[in-house]
Amino acid sequence: MPKLAPWQVSNTTFDWTRTYLMGVLNVTPDSFSDGGQFNTLERAIAQAHRMVADGVDILDIGGQSTRPDAETVTLEEELDRVVPVIEALRAGRGEFGPLAVPISVDTTRAVVADRAIAAGGNMVNDVSGGTYETDMLSTVARLGVPVFLMHLRGTPKTMQKMTDYDDLMGELWRVLSSRKLAATTAGIDPGLIGLDPGIGFAKTVEQNLEILQRSHEFQTLDCPILIGPSRKSFIGKILNQSDPMDRVWGTGAACAAAIAGGTQVLRVHDVAEMRQVTRLSDAIWRGGEKGS
């Protein structure tokens, strides 16, 4: 694997010597797996503290569902969902004290990114790769924070009709490379860019499997690679599990495959279970902690 520059995020150093877990916190009513579970301030705060106790490395907070066929919410609605949660996590609320864990904002909107970072966020996770809004990359550059840029065709409403590729891995590599170039051209430090091939976004079951089988090829992009297979429909189709909540162990297998391919960050819902997966997988493939 390439030697990647560490990320210093607040008091946390990401040195890329092990696999890091990004915990999904959707403060939405309509996300595919956990929509409506954490869309009140109290429930979102409790879930964030639960994930930190389970060993999460990054909290990824999103106020816009990106499930297939999702409707786009207004800017005001997304801000109202995301910013108060970040502020409450940093300040503490009720029985819960303040959290210091790095917080990512999952958004395609520059204004949401800006205000989320001002509220106490630390990085941006943009599923559009910075393509939905022309000022997203310049905003991230001004903020001086890390960013994850994902491959996506179309929008959540259209993406699953856009799965024809002449060369899947070739296109993913080229698009991600071009997004990295666009980010650096906009002024983002190349050492603060992460890339995501977009499992489940404009991809078929077979294409998602190919990404996992060949994920090592993304290491030549010389950026931390994020993969988010958690509870996704391709796992359900293979395992005949229609309920996303029943896809935990399938998710674990996908995460182990991604780690074998060198992936640095995994975006997951089930932090406690995936922490076990990452620790054992790191011990196998990365010479990580073996335990006593």
* pLDDT value, residue 288: 67
Report the distance separating Cα 159 and Cα 221, nearest Å.
Answer: 24
Tens digit of pLDDT per residue, the chain (292 long)?
668 999 999 999 999 999 999 999 998 774 445 445 666 888 899 999 999 999 999 999 999 877 676 678 899 999 999 999 999 999 998 899 999 999 999 999 999 999 999 999 999 999 999 999 999 999 999 999 999 999 998 887 888 888 999 999 999 999 999 999 999 999 999 999 999 999 999 999 999 999 999 999 999 999 999 999 999 999 999 999 999 999 999 999 999 999 999 999 999 999 999 999 999 999 999 986 655 4
Assess if residue 291 is contained within a domain: no
Any domain includes 173: yes
Rounded Cα gap, residues 194 and 221, in angstroms = 10
Record the pTM.
Answer: 0.93
Q: Are 89 and 99 in contact (CB under 8 A)?
A: yes
Given 232, 237, 247, 286, the catalytic residue: 232
Asked if residue 221 is part of any domain, the answer here is yes
Whether 67 is catalytic is no
Query: What is the per-residue pLDDT for 139?
Result: 98
Domain total in the chain:
1
Q: Are strands 147-150 and 58-62 parallel, antiparallel or unpaired?
A: unpaired
Whole-number Cα distances in Å, 285 to 18, 214, 259, 261: 10, 16, 8, 9
Residue position matching structure tokens 């996704």:
232
**Is residue 203, in this structure, part of any structural domain at all?**
yes
The pLDDT score that the predictor gives to residue 271 is: 98
Single out the catalytic residue among 267, 275, 279, 286.
Answer: 267
Is residue 2 situated within a structural domain? no
In sequence order, the β-bridge partners of residue 6 are none
Chain centre to alpha carbon of residue 271: 13
CB 123 within 8 A of CB 58: yes
Q: Which residues pair with 105 in a beta bridge?
A: 61, 124
Would 292 be classed as within a structural domain?
no
Can you give the chain as a three-state secondary structure string?
CCCCCCEEECCEEECCCCCEEEEEEECCCCCCCCCCCCCCHHHHHHHHHHHHHHCCCEEEEECCCCCCCCCCCCHHHHHHHHHHHHHHHHHCECCECCCCCCEEEECCCHHHHHHHHHCCCCEEEECCCCCCCCCHHHHHHHHCCCEEEECCCCCCCCHHHCCCCCCHHHHHHHHHHHHHHHHHHCCCCHHHEEEECCCCCCCCHHHHHHHHHCHHHHHHHCCCEEECCCCCHHHHHHHCCCCHHHCHHHHHHHHHHHHHCCCCEEEECCHHHHHHHHHHHHHHHCCCCCCC
Catalytic residue at 267? yes
Q: What domain range is 263 assigned to?
A: 8-285
CATH for 250: 3.20.20.20
| 290 belongs to a structural domain | no
> Are the C-beta atoms of residues 215 and 1 closer than 8 Å to each other?
no
